[in-house]
Amino acid sequence: MVEEAYEAVSEVERRNSSGVMEELGDLIFMTLFMAYLFQQRGDFTIEDVLKKAAAKMIYRHPHVFANRHVESPDEVKENWERLKKQEKSKKSDKLDIPRSLPALMRAHRLVGRAWSLSCPDDNPPGIRTFICNQLKALEDLSGETNSADKARKHMGESLMAMVCLGRKYGINAEDVLHEAIQRRLESSNPAAS
């Protein structure tokens, strides 16, 4: 399902209407099929899913469905965020970040919710020093045998710290990595753009 969602986004970015239509069809099919499987188990029906989705949208958009007056699109967004936070605080731990998200996106959310748990320092120079130390430790492993686990740890810590650094500069690591990949694809194959 996640892959289908990414394929739909890719077609939207390409402005390919027929591709978007096809991928949205795949997503709708996957949604209906998943709901059917859960219905077979007796958990819920597609009607339950639709009712819950409608209730959520009505709750989060009082400017549309109730008599709440707003002055600007920014106020709509602020209200939406506030209502979403209220919902989440009733549910569970704020660190409940879906494991199915792409790793950089998941890290970005974690850093946003729990900086001190996620980041090695609170300022960019300290974060950069941490990254350099992790990369140096990675380099020092180059001659060691059986160092794959240590290398994975240092690489993971470096990536996490890069997400922290990006967050400090208002940069989403997931987005900039996609941009870097696209630049490489375009430079190796001008027709890919």
* Domain spans of the chain, in order of start: 1-44, 50-91, 97-193
Do 1-44 and 97-193 have matching folds? yes
The CATH architecture to which 1-44 belongs is: Orthogonal Bundle (1.10)
CATH code: domain 97-193 is 1.10.287.1080
Q: Considering only residues 8 and 93, tell me which one the structure prediction assigns the higher pLDDT.
A: 8
Residue type, 143: G
Does the pLDDT of residue 97 top 60, yes or no?
yes
Cα 119 to Cα 128: distance, rounded to the nearest angstrom:
11
Mean pLDDT, residues 9-37 taken together: 95
Q: What is the pLDDT of residues 76-92, one digit of tens each?
A: 888 878 887 777 666 65
pLDDT at position 181 is 94
Does the pLDDT of residue 52 top 90, yes or no?
yes
Mean pLDDT, residues 109-113 taken together: 89
Mean pLDDT, residues 60-81 taken together: 82
- The radius of gyration of the chain from alpha carbons, rounded to an integer in Å, stands at 22
Mean pLDDT, residues 97-107 taken together: 90
Report the share of the chain in percent with pLDDT over 70: 94
User: For the whole prediction, is pTM greater than 0.85?
Assistant: no
97: Cβ contacts below 8 Å, ≥ 6 apart: 106, 109, 110, 113
pLDDT band, residue 191 (cuts 50/70/90): low
167: Cβ contacts below 8 Å, ≥ 6 apart: 108, 111, 112, 115, 119
63: Cβ contacts below 8 Å, ≥ 6 apart: 69, 70, 76, 79
Average confidence score pLDDT of the chain: 89
Q: Considering only residues 190 and 117, tell me which one the structure prediction assigns the higher pLDDT.
A: 117
